Amino acid sequence: MVRAIKMSRNLYPTVPMQLAHSLNHFDDNPDLAAERAMCHWCRFQSWSSYQLFPVSIINMESDEIIDDNFEFIEKNIVRNGVELADEEFQAGCTCETSFDCLKAGCHCLDDIETSDVEDENYSINAYHVVGRRKGCLRGEMLSSRMPIYECNRQCGCPDDCPNKVVSRGRQLPLQIFRTVNRGLRSTEDIKQGQFVGNYVGELITSDEANWRRAQSTKSQKKDVYLFALDKFTDPNSSDERLRGEPYEIDGEYFAGPTRFINHSCDPNLRIFAVVRDLANKPFHDLCFFALREIPRFTELTFDYAGGVRGEDKDLDQKEEGMTRCLCGANNCRNWLW
């Protein structure tokens, strides 16, 4: 089990639990191999983003913060029944310059509706390409629910293509900390429209997801961790994988740090569907972007209900068994679902 440093409230709140980890796992003692394999901090160190954008865990209330049966992962674990497209069907654009990836004609942007775009040089990509907000979502995208289309590793465009924001990975250090339960924040300021991270977990079929709900002692609690990849579900789709029930991501026992983002009816993040490979559109990424400027050490939140608004806020008139919302926002709906 990972144990965080128990700290006084007067201590500077960015002290990580790395010391507790280092005291036990600083060498290659074979007797500690099994313990290192289950150590969350050891897993963080194995991530490609660790050196520049580390994840830390702190706890001011007790010496224990993350359960034994939870495992941090960097990308989705594909479970039985989920079949990704064969590599031969995965394709990228043939753009020779980054500029070509901003407009119609880039293969990766083929699914973006451009019928009302008259200027062939008009940028239809999702991100700012210059200035302070370079790499951040443009205003019209941030205020929409539109999917984001990106270039990928199969593309002919350069590695610094402005259409590879999610593909380049998280560019922020994150910190899991103790709130009423657990929460997530960044130790750096976050710009409006900035990519914060992916939601990852076990990639499963809808049948498996429904079975897991049924096995859970409280299905509504399970739904906190299950995310349906239903952005492109369409009974008339030419892709048979999009015609049926959507696949889901279960982040209860295997997930990344974004699993600890709490709900708010006035959130500072929003989830967007991001397609980095048109051949695997049914398995698109779920990515968090900042809705506004977020000062460092501010708790990160998103709306679990996707912004659905109720006509009344009287819980007594709601169905029995609904989950009460305690976010405390001025516009709180008082219920989640």
Hey, which residues are catalytic here? 199, 304
Handedness of CA 252, 270, 285, 188 (dihedral sign): negative
Is residue 308 packed enough to be buried (19+ CB in 10 Å), middle (13-18) or exposed (0-12)?
exposed
CA distance 311 to 244: 31
**Residue 297 contacts residue 185 (beta carbons within 8 Å):** yes
Angstrom CA distances, 60 to 8, 71, 72, 198, stand at: 6, 22, 21, 27
CB 166 within 8 A of CB 276: yes
Which residue, chain included where needed, has tokens 């539109």? 146
Strand partners, 302: 263
Beta bridge partners of 73: none
Contacts of residue 205, defined as CB under 8 A and 6 or more positions apart, other chains included, come to 79, 80, 81, 82, 245, 247, 248
114 residue type, one letter: T
Cα separations in angstroms, 91 against 75, 164, 194, 247, 277: 20, 15, 27, 22, 7
Q: Token pair for residue 81?
A: 């029944």
For residues 290 and 321, the answer to whether their CB atoms sit within 8 Å is: no
Among candidate residues 125, 261, 252, the one with its CA nearest the CA of residue 193: 125
174-178: strand order across its sheet: 55-57, 174-178, 182-186
Phi, psi of 78 (to 5 degrees): -85, 120
